[in-house]
Amino acid sequence: MSLLCPASERVSAPAFLTQAATLEVLEIYAMSIAKRNEGAKVNSDINVTPMVDVMLVLLIIFMVITPMLQKGISVDMPKVNNPTPMADADKEDALLVSIMRDGTVYFGSDKIAVDSLTGKVKDRLANRTDKRVYVKADARAHFGNVVQVVDGVRAAGVDDLGLLTDQRKSTPNPPNTPPGTPAPGQ
């Protein structure tokens, strides 16, 4: 008599075993198979290491590319409390004149002389319906240089001139004290 088991492990029962003993051997064999619990060895945890690697690479890429996306020349613009938003200045076709601290003038990203600014602006405005030019001047540029550029841009027939500034970081307001009250520490 042979026991029911896989073909590779087929066992012949000795002749002296009774049918009850054979059933007991089968139960033990079945329990040993059930106790293996091969499904418990499967690891279902998510390995986040590759995801973290990809995220760090993306972060580095964006950190390198972001400064390159700035349009025109980088200047340290004056900071104001209540700037007027000029979203059109960030458009790709916006006409941007930059004035550096040393008085150098750039039209877009091209360095030009103040004398030739009027002609260049006229050429660029010839086919446009929106005759708007944005000026961003360094906070420490001489006022006379800024006036010359604004005058040259106005002479080109510009309808609207935008002076670009940065938002000043807000500082907490000091508490209001009624008049005649000594300041703390006096």
* Higher-scoring residue by pLDDT: 3, 63: 63
132 bridge partner residues: 160
Work out the average pLDDT over 78-102. 87
CA distance 52 to 41: 26
Total domains in the chain come to 2
22 shares its domain with 96: no
CA distance 89 to 103: 22
CA distance 107 to 157: 16
131 shares its domain with 80: yes
141 shares its domain with 103: yes
12 bridge partner residues: 2
Question: What is the residue-averaged pLDDT of the chain?
Answer: 79
pTM: 0.55
Which is nearest to 156 in space by CA: 129, 125, 134?
125
Q: Name, of 5-9, 26-30, 141-145, the range with top average pLDDT.
A: 141-145
Summarize pLDDT for 104-153 with one digit per residue, the tens. Answer: 999 988 899 999 999 999 998 888 888 889 999 999 999 999 999 999 99
In the structure, what pLDDT confidence band is assigned to residue 88 with cuts at 50, 70 and 90?
A: confident
What's the CATH code of the domain at 148?
Answer: 3.30.420.270
